[in-house]
Structure 1
């Protein structure tokens, strides 16, 4: 099945060869999102809640560009640099998913840039 690359024009150029999302049929796959600004500058350094908010805002905008919303998210892949940030992450996450919660997993790992604390990749289903 062919897919459509989704790259919202207001986003900075990706730091590697990938699309912000790919839409295949009724499924939207959002690439891992970090709290990055123009030129790959890390935003909200040292602030896991701020990075989580930025990441989820980017995911929401990406989904909207594909004709979806956060309510369509069925699964989130979550990566935290430090599990000490788990409570701060969850507090923000709950604001963005107030209804039925998507399935997810959360892994502690190093991220692409040392100042990044949170990365999320999502899968959404339309209709």
Structure 2
């Protein structure tokens, strides 16, 4: 199996021993993206919508670095510290994704890195 490591300065650097994404064949597995500004490395200020926008922008940059786009995502995993924000995150997601939407799971977690409230990871298949 041949793995290609994906890395872009347009998304936050890994804050641990992992890659932003790994491509195997036509499939790309992204690491979780949180609301870090890639330029400063700091969590963006604001509410859940601000965090969700930053997360989807970071995910978009990783997908593009791998040769794809958000449209190539076939599965999306969402992690939230408060499921009462589900509707707000859905509304932001609707600004980045068009039908047909990827398969998705959403889970509530007790905590996320750097104290953020939202994280997303994805599996992308390139044409």
TM-score (ref. length: structure 1) = 0.91
The residue aligned with 1:18 is 18
The residue aligned with 2:63 is 63
**Separation in 2, partners of 1:119, 1:70:** 16
Asked whether the equivalents of residues 15 and 40 of structure 1 are also in contact (C-alpha less than 8 Å), the reply is no
Per-residue CA distance 1:71-91 (angstroms, 9 max, x = gap): 100000110011111111000
Per-residue CA distance 1:33-89 (angstroms, 9 max, x = gap): 0001356421134x1111111111111111111111111000001100111111110
Structure 1 unaligned runs (5+)? none
The yes-or-no answer on 1:42 pairing with 2:7 is: no
Query: Using a 3 Å threshold, how does the CA distance of structure 1 residues 25 and 54 change in structure 2: closer, same or farther?
Result: same
**Separation in 1, partners of 2:52, 2:26:** 26
Cα RMSD for the two superposed structures: 1.3
Aligned residues: 125
The residue aligned with 1:54 is 54
Q: Secondary structure at the match of 2:114?
A: coil
Q: Secondary structure at the match of 1:42?
A: coil
